[in-house]
Amino acid sequence: MVNIGYHSAKIQGNFLRSIYRSSLSSLVSFPVKQDRQVPIKVYALSCERDLPEQVASLRSFLRHVGIPDAFVIMSDGSYTNESIELLKSIHPSVDVQLLTKFQRNDLPGSVYEYASQQAMGKKLAALMSIPIDGATLYTDSDILFFQGASDLADLATSKDSHTYYLPDCKNSLDKRLIYEDIEMQEPINAGFILFKKALDWSDSVQRLANLADAPNYFSEQTIVNLTIKRNHGIALSQDKYIMNVDDQFTYPDKFASKSIAMRHYVSDIRHKFWLSTFFSP
């Protein structure tokens, strides 16, 4: 039996994305109404393919969280000059930097090799290169922020030095990098991390160097999972910070509401990103 709701949502989501993409040049000319300053630096890694998502995510951050000290978009190298200027025109806090120039020059060789082979290797190099000086957020481009994101501003200004992470809804790990079963429990999603201090990546990255075969798509998330746990990270509230695909095969966005801070619209539910962009409460 055909799931009409699911297929309708996918068709509508794709249609709304096409409208958004075709309207980008005029859309970014409308300023986001926001006066609240938030002492946080934000970093995102994205590419030309994901330009519409990056624009929507950035604008939702400005609208619902506030104006950061900086919002740095790390380009994987595919952004055109036109797209870079478009992103920078959204707000004066926005900067776009080429990842190959942004990334540190003292990372382990295994990380550079991974980055040269796969997109997720580039993300690992990006995460390990982010300078942590006070509250610092990494966010994927397929994340939308909602009215409850004022909670994130409160976390940014709190005096603790914890790393806050987004709990994952499923186990998406490279098991070759897992040495003990306990390391797979309560998995971490690498798409949204609030840093308050620099992390020690050495032990988990050494496992990458020890791999007999090439790393895969999930190797990056596994290294992030191991590193944050080893550095005693704290899970964000799963009622406000949403990483859940239970509504994948239904029409509506089950989790979007005024009370949540954000939702990560991973590939399984990417079409709902656009339903929420246009119709979020």
pLDDT tens figures, 246-272: 999 999 999 999 999 999 999 999 999
Mean pLDDT of 74-88: 98
Lowest pLDDT segment from 5-9, 37-41, 173-177, 272-276: 5-9
Domains in the chain, CATH or no CATH each = 4-279 (3.90.550)
pLDDT for position 279: 86
What is the model's pTM?
0.96
Mean pLDDT of 162-183: 95
Give the up-direction half-sphere exposure of residue 158: CA atoms within 13 A in the CB hemisphere: 15
Sheet containing strand 164-167, strands side by side? 94-98, 67-75, 37-46, 136-139, 188-195, 164-167, 234-235
pLDDT tens figures, 105-144: 999 999 999 999 999 999 999 999 999 999 999 999 999 9
For residue 19, pLDDT over 70 is answered with yes
Three-state SS string over the chain comes to CCCHHHHHHHHHHHHHHHHHHHCHHHHCCCCCCCCCEEEEEEEEEECHHHHHHHHHHHHHHHHHCCEEEEEEEEECCCCCHHHHHHHHCCCCCEEEEEHHHHCCCCCCHHHHHHHHHCHHHHHHHHHHHCCCCCCEEEECCCEEECHHHHHHHHHHHCCCCCCEEEECCCCCCCHHHCCCHHHHCCCEEEEEEEECCCCCCHHHHHHHHHCCCCCCCCHHHHHHHHHHHHCCCEECCCCCEECCCCCCCCCCCCCCCCCCCEEECCHHHHHHHHHHHHHCC
For residue 281, pLDDT over 90 is answered with no
**Exposure letters 229-241 (e unless 16+ CB within 10 A, then b):** bebebeebeeebb
pLDDT for position 161: 94
